[in-house]
């Protein structure tokens, strides 16, 4: 079956390329000085099951200071992406920044754009720097799904639910995955193979130490189950969701999670519920040079688009072309695509419809293998991308994801050479 974009959507008008250009260094470039993350752990039973989001955020913010040696007083603003915590994690994020060593003069805000929250936080900081509002900032993302995901209650207006498209925003994400698979003929076999390969790539990357540069060890307190809840101190330094023993035969035996008789989305070909945090330090090139700080690469541009809520997963297929055109390049010039594996169905759809070579997609595995802490993922992808561009001696990368309620986001990055 030929996979094509659904008819009802009109692509947004494309902006012209920004002054920041690929292959051209300017003092005004927005550069990434550091991008770090925690390990991603299994929700409710992993190493971070007893660690709240503010503590996870504390660890990555503190690591940014220690790894770069930057004077924390120079960081003017921190924006944190988060999805599940009450109050938008606003006060706990401010507390985490202060505890990590940032002074009272460093402001903190939080935002919620579903699964792109971490990326949106980084783009918001980059945009503030471009506009001259701040000189140095941090975009971050964090999620303790163990603590905050399972008890959420959202009350919606019954009046709005009478609008069919608005009502589609409330579809369970798993059903939107089923809609993508059914609409575009993506088979269960394809989804299971994609999942198998995600675990295989992630395990190989973990064993080879490819995650080491982006990951920080976190020493935390956890509690044994049972009477007394004995406390113990552990160090978490590896992603826990990777299953080296994954087989196609084993995946094929899993029952559909959302449509018991006709479904193709299972626990094995969907992203894992996880805990984790990531942070990205951004500033202008001239600032990094003045402070004698290393430059990993630069931010080029980004895009956010809307798509039908019932086909939520197709978002990257729309966002990526917009971002690429804004960057003044073609899809063929992109070396690595970090496309969030919310579900195998939507990740497969994206690379197929855009004609992206499979080997360019998530070379170290993705969320199916390592996990998807909702607010963290967008920042985590940046931390994952730059070391892999360096390892492969490649230059251009994209981070992208679908967004609940029917959107997609993408950003274009260039490694420093």
Distance (Å, whole) CA 172 – CA 103: 41
Distance (Å, whole) CA 370 – CA 242: 6
Distance (Å, whole) CA 171 – CA 168: 5
Chain-centre distance for alpha carbon 301: 16
Q: Which residue has the tokens 């080997």?
A: 359
CB 271 within 8 A of CB 368: yes
- Please count the other Cβ atoms lying within 10 Å of the Cβ belonging to residue 35: 28
Instruction: Collect all residues with Cβ–Cβ distance below 8 Å to 346 and sequence separation of at least 6.
Output: 177, 180, 312, 313, 314, 315, 316, 402
Distance (Å, whole) CA 18 – CA 7: 29
Phi-psi region at 316: left, alpha or beta (left = phi > 0; alpha = psi -120 to 50): alpha
Torsion of CA 315, 393, 197, 269, to 10 degrees: -30
Q: Would you give the DSSP letter of residue 7?
A: T
Nearest-5° angle of CA 282, CA 380, CA 223?
Answer: 120
Instruction: Collect all residues with Cβ–Cβ distance below 8 Å to 135 and sequence separation of at least 6.
Output: 74, 76, 129, 283, 284, 287
Catalytic residue among 84, 115, 218, 376: 115
DSSP codes of every residue in 201-242: HHHHHHHHTTTTTTB--EEEEEE-SSTT--EEEEEE-S-S--
Distance (Å, whole) CA 301 – CA 294: 21
Token representation of residue 293: 């700080």
**Selection from 79, 95, 92 nearest residue 140 by Cα:** 79
Token representation of residue 132: 């001259």
Q: HSE-up of 161 (CA within 13 Å, CB side)?
A: 6
Q: Annotated catalytic, 115?
A: yes
Token representation of residue 243: 């299953």
Q: Annotated catalytic, 169?
A: no
CB 194 within 8 A of CB 362: no
Residue numbers annotated as active site: 115, 402
């Amino acid at each position: 079956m030929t996979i094509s974009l659904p008819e009802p959507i009109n692509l947004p008008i494309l902006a012209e390329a920004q002054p920041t250009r690929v292959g051209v260094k300017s003092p005004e470039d927005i550069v990434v000085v550091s991008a770090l993350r925690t390990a991603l752990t299994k929700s409710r039973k992993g190493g971070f099951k007893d660690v709240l989001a503010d503590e996870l955020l504390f660890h990555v913010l503190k690591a940014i200071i220690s790894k770069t040696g930057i004077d924390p007083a120079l960081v003017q603003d921190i924006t944190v992406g988060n999805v599940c915590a009450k109050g938008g994690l606003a006060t706990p994020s401010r507390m985490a920044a202060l505890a990590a060593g940032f002074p009272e003069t460093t402001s903190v805000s939080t935002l919620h754009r579903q699964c792109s929250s971490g990326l949106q936080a980084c783009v918001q900081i980059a945009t503030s720097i471009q506009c001259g509002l701040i000189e140095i900032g941090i975009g971050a993302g964090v999620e303790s799904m163990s603590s905050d995901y399972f008890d959420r209650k959202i009350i919606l207006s019954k009046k709005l639910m009478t609008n069919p498209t608005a009502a589609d925003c409330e579809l369970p994400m798993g059903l939107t995955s089923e809609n993508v698979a059914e609409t575009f003929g993506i088979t269960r076999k394809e989804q299971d193979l994609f999942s198998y390969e995600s675990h295989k790539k992630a395990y190989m990357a973990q064993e080879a130490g490819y995650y080491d540069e982006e990951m920080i060890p976190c020493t935390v307190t956890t509690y044994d189950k049972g009477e007394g809840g004995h406390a113990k101190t552990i160090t978490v330094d590896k992603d826990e969701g990777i299953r080296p023993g994954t087989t196609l035969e084993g995946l094929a035996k899993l029952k559909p999670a959302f449509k018991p008789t006709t479904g193709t989305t299972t626990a094995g070909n969907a992203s894992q519920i996880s805990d984790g945090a990531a942070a990205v330090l951004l500033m202008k090139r001239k600032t990094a040079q003045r402070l004698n700080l290393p430059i990993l690469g630069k931010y080029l541009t980004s895009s956010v688009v809307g798509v039908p809520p019932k086909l939520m997963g197709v978002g990257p297929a729309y966002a990526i072309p917009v971002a690429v055109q804004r960057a003044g390049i073609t899809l063929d010039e992109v070396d690595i695509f970090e496309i969030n594996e919310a579900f195998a169905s939507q990740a497969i759809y994206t690379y197929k419809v855009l004609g992206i070579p499979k080997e360019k997609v998530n070379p170290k595995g993705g969320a199916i293998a390592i996990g998807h802490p909702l607010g963290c993922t967008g920042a985590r992808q940046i931390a994952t991308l730059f070391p892999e561009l360096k390892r492969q001696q490649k230059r251009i990368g994209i981070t992208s994801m679908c967004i609940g309620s029917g959107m997609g986001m993408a950003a274009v990055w260039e490694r420093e050479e």
